[in-house]
Amino acid sequence: MEEGCNCLTSKMVSNLSIGLFIVLGIVLLMVRVLYVVYRCGKPFPKGASQSFTTLVVLGSGGHTAEMLSLLSVLRMDRFTPRFYIAAATDNMSLQKARSFEDSLAVKVPAVKKVSSQFMQIYRSREVGQSYVTSVWTTIVAIVHGLWLMIRIRPQVILCNGPGTCIPLCVIAFLFKVLGIRWSSIFYVESVARVKKLSLSGLLLYKLRIADQFFVQWPQLQKKYPRAHYVGCLM
């Protein structure tokens, strides 16, 4: 009788301690998440680094054109090495990025080739794909994204939508929380968005995943005060 009672108490104690551990773990994780959210958007001290490993996420058509317009005015020695990622179904974007990099190499022959790499990522859902099969393709896309991010471990992420950048930005945020890699995420909302943010933009803004958020129309800046209004990129 007593033994059974003891057994019960020790079971309860061990259950309790497991529970405590889980609660403690969750609390610690939440504190860490809050800290990361607090630190996001805080600028680096002057002279923090000479250059940053940079990931450029290319959207498609118009998005890619805007991104290249931004890249053309950035000091490329500060954003080296560069990794470009585009959706596997988008053949044009990487081609455009390659010719952009080639044009840089012509200007500064010394820094060519070694400083840039081009990759493709599976899309979680194609236009018109059924929701049942998209569960599977989403899992594949996330695992693939994780693999790419582990390889690149970017310090700077430049993105401007559409959806391709979301899993990569979420993984980057998790890396920050877990202390794997600290990165700064810059998101430029497309010039085509005048009154409302895109879904990608809204997510990155609301969840405070983007460190700095840029919009190209003053109407949007009024609605989303943490965004910078920067005029049209095009």
Partner 1 sequence: MEDRENAKKRLVFVTVGTTSFDALVKAVVTQHVQDELLKRGCTHLLIQMGRGTFFPTKCDGADGSLVVDYFTFSSSIADHIRSASLVISHAGSGSIFETLKLGKPLIVVVNEDLMDNHQCELAEALEERKHLYYTRPHTLHQTLTKMELESLVPYTPGDGTPVARIIDRFLGFPDD
Q: Which of 5, 73, 110, 132 binds partner 1 (CB under 8 A)?
A: 73
Place of tokens 């493709």: 120
Q: Write down the least CB distance from residue 63 to partner 1, Å.
A: 9
> How many residues can be counted in the chain?
234
Q: Which stretch binds partner 1 (CB under 8 A): 17-25, 43-51, 98-106, 114-122?
A: 43-51
Q: What gap in Å lies between CA 72 and CA 234, rounded to an integer?
A: 12
Q: Which of 47, 128, 179, 225 binds partner 1 (CB under 8 A)?
A: 47
Q: Which of 85, 87, 169, 188 binds partner 1 (CB under 8 A)?
A: 188
Strands (E), 34-96: 54-57, 82-87
Q: Write down the least CB distance from residue 75 to partner 1, Å.
A: 7
Q: What gap in Å lies between CA 73 and CA 70, rounded to an integer?
A: 6
Q: What gap in Å lies between CA 53 and CA 64, rounded to an integer?
A: 20
Q: What gap in Å lies between CA 188 and CA 68, rounded to an integer?
A: 12
Contacts with partner 1, 114-153, as mask; x by CB under 8 A? ----------------------------------------
Residue 52 makes contact with partner 1 by CB under 8 A? yes
Contacts with partner 1, 197-226, as mask; x by CB under 8 A? -x------------xx-x-xx-x-------
Residue 69 makes contact with partner 1 by CB under 8 A? yes
Q: What gap in Å lies between CA 59 and CA 191, rounded to an integer?
A: 13
Nearest Cα residue to 163 out of 121, 225, 129 = 121
Does the CA dihedral 178-180-184-190 come out positive or negative?
Answer: negative
Residues engaged in binding partner 1 (CB under 8 A): 43-49, 52, 61-62, 65, 69-75, 78, 156, 184, 186, 188, 190-196, 198, 211-212, 214, 216-217, 219, 228, 230-234
